[in-house]
Amino acid sequence: MELNRPTAYDIACHFCVSRITSATIPATRLSNILETMFRGSTLTALSRTYLQQQNLTELHQLATGQITYEAFIAALDPALVASEQAAKIEHQTKNADRLAQEAEWPVECRRKGEAAAAARIARAVRKSEQVAHYSSEREAAETARIDRETEWAVQCKRNREAAEASFKARMSKPGYIAPTPYDIARHYRVSHLPSAVTSPLSNILNALYQGRPLAAAYLNYLKIKGPARLYALAIGQAIYESYISGIDADEVARKNAYAARLKQAEAQRVRHEAAEVARIARESDPAYVLRRKYGFFAIDESLMPRMMDVLQNVDCGNRVVPDDFVWLNTEAKKYFIGELRRAYHLREAEFCGNEYRRTQDPWNAINASAHYRKCDQPTSALELLASVPVIQLKHPRIHSALCTTRGGVMRDLGRCDEALQLGKQGHELQPQDFRPCTLLGALCMELGNFGKGHDWYAKAERRGASKQGIDAELRGIFLRLDKATREAMRVYLLATDPNRYRWVSDKKSYRKSTSVL
């Protein structure tokens, strides 16, 4: 295409219709009509009808000769004309830039081709230099190898000559006795090897001793299976004197390594014995035995004296005095757990149980039962409660407390039906007491009846149970449930109050809590 020939876009701009996409695309119906008009040719009837169908009225009037081009431009919106002119100028600028880039492409391609050719030549030169360098290194290495092997061959000959001369000198002495294979093995310091007195190694040693050349098979045997130093002597890498000094050095190093191992083993034995003595002493210490019994292996130094007094007191079967109980729940709170807390509740249970047997006061039996439950002895609680004569309980409050406590024991023992009956009986006796409600709520939750459980807890809260205590109980129940029931409880609690029970979705917030029953 000639550079001065107008494009479809130029013609569209000329008629101020470049905003119409089909006007700027060559070979479309509209662009063909515009090109015909631009050349001054007459449009066909179909083309004129098409202009009318596209609502290009002014263009149709221009095509039919009703108005001149100047009148056509004057009839258009000045803003449209200005926009078309600006678009035309922008298009021309872009086209000029494109043409300039296309003109630079051959130069750029030629430059890149020259650079690629230069790079190929440079690579070829580097490769040639590398090949020459490697070849030179190989030649140098080969020369050095030949020189070494030549030197070894010369030294090997000297070794044979020296060995032969020594052998002949020994033979010429009066009373000469031929050495045995073991004697020759001792001469070369290999008598510790069983193979040194049998073929083929004994043959090799005999040849070396007499200064005779070794066959290639014998040399290969030494290289693969023989002592490395003996092979070096056989091929001339070493003389007999350096061979012996090397063996002596190896022996010294071996003895030193053995002595170091013995020393290390002795030091380890001493450390082990010291550790064992320390362990025995530690485990024999009554204070250590007591701490270990109650699971305390590390206690703050500031708390140690008083804690030891508490442990000794509890271990002797005594109750925790009130001041120590306050201290255990404040300063030493993080240690008042596990075995110590169970021991505390056991001592309290035993005390309350003895008080009941002494006074026959049912409240002492109820308190003892609560402590027995907290030290994981529900059976003892049940035995004590069974001794309380229910028929003599006239006041509804104590009767309700006994039913509720007994229901809690049944719950611990897994006898849920009896626990439910006792909880309901306690609620009937004391409708305004929250404790039977919390028992029934916990049982329903554990049985998967979350709706009823939530209702019972709501009743307990209205009757005075703390929200914190109820939530702590729910956390404990949640942790003890199996996976499927726990998931069902999680869904129910989040649907009931997602803000209050958001902890069910946060594993870090799960913590076991003490029952509020």
DSSP string, 381-406: HHHHHHTS-GGG--SHHHHHHHHHHH
Q: What angle do CA 128, 133, 136 make, to 5 degrees?
A: 125
C-beta separation of 198 from 216 below 8 A = no
What does the pLDDT look like over 17-41, one tens digit per residue?
Answer: 888 888 889 989 888 988 888 888 8
C-beta separation of 299 from 335 below 8 A = yes
ω before 200 within 30° of 0 (cis)?
yes
Check pLDDT > 50 for residue 513.
no
C-beta separation of 55 from 38 below 8 A = no
Report the distance separating Cα 410 and Cα 426, nearest Å.
14
Q: What angle do CA 43, 49, 55 make, to 5 degrees?
A: 115
Burial zone of 486 (CB within 10 Å; 0-12 exposed, 13-18 middle, 19+ buried): middle
**Residue in the block written with tokens 């294979």:** 181
Check pLDDT > 80 for residue 326.
yes
C-beta separation of 490 from 478 below 8 A = yes
CATH topology of domain 389-517: 1.25.40
Query: Residue 4: its pLDDT value, please?
Result: 63
C-beta separation of 34 from 12 below 8 A = yes
User: Rounded mean pLDDT of 139-162?
Assistant: 91
Q: How far is CA 104 from CA 98, 100, 108, in A?
A: 10, 6, 6
Check pLDDT > 60 for residue 413.
yes
Report the distance separating Cα 448 and Cα 491, nearest Å.
12
Report the distance separating Cα 411 and Cα 439, nearest Å.
9
Residue 135, CB-side half-sphere exposure with 13 Å CA sphere: 6
Check pLDDT > 60 for residue 516.
no
Q: What angle do CA 183, 188, 190 make, to 5 degrees?
A: 85
User: Rounded mean pLDDT of 193-205?
Assistant: 90
What does the pLDDT look like over 440-497, one tens digit per residue?
Answer: 999 999 999 999 999 999 999 999 999 999 999 999 999 999 999 999 999 999 999 9
DSSP string, 81-107: HHHHHHHHHHHHHHHHHHHHHHHHHHH
93 vs 431, higher pLDDT: 431
User: Rounded mean pLDDT of 407-427?
Assistant: 94
Q: How far is CA 362 from CA 328, 398, 402, in A?
A: 29, 8, 8
What does the pLDDT look like over 266-286, one tens digit per residue?
Answer: 999 999 999 998 888 877 878
User: Rounded mean pLDDT of 434-443?
Assistant: 94
C-beta separation of 340 from 299 below 8 A = no
* Domain residue ranges in the chain: 389-517
3 state DSSP class of 302: coil
According to DSSP, residue 67 is labeled S
Confidence at 514, pLDDT banded by 50, 70, 90: very low
Q: What is the CA radius of gyration of the chain?
A: 54
Mean pLDDT for the chain overall: 88
**Residue in the block written with tokens 């002014």:** 58
According to DSSP, residue 7 is labeled P
Query: Residue 2: its pLDDT value, please?
Result: 45
Mark residue 178 as left, alpha or beta (left: phi above 0; alpha: psi -120 to 50; beta: remaining): beta
Query: Residues, the chain, total?
Result: 517
Report the distance separating Cα 337 and Cα 335, nearest Å.
5
Query: Residue 368: its pLDDT value, please?
Result: 93
- Out of 10-19, 151-160, 407-416, 472-481, least confident range: 10-19
394 vs 183, higher pLDDT: 183
Enclosing H/E stretch for 245: helix 240-284
What does the pLDDT look like over 121-130, one tens digit per residue?
Answer: 999 999 988 9
Query: Residue 390: its pLDDT value, please?
Result: 84
Q: Residue 90, Cβ neighbours under 10 Å: how many?
A: 10
- Out of 76-80, 420-424, 431-435, least confident range: 76-80
C-beta separation of 228 from 250 below 8 A = no
Check pLDDT > 70 for residue 511.
no
Picking from 468, 413, 407, 473, the residue whose alpha carbon sits closest to that of residue 436 is 407
- The residues, ordered by sequence, that sit 6+ positions from 392 with a Cβ below 8 Å of its Cβ are none
**Residue in the block written with tokens 């650079």:** 115
User: Residue 511 is which amino acid?
Assistant: R
429 vs 93, higher pLDDT: 429
Query: Residue 517: its pLDDT value, please?
Result: 40
Confidence at 515, pLDDT banded by 50, 70, 90: very low
**Residue in the block written with tokens 């030193």:** 256
3 state DSSP class of 293: helix
- Out of 91-105, 183-197, 334-348, 414-428, least confident range: 91-105
Burial zone of 261 (CB within 10 Å; 0-12 exposed, 13-18 middle, 19+ buried): exposed
Report the distance separating Cα 346 and Cα 350, nearest Å.
6
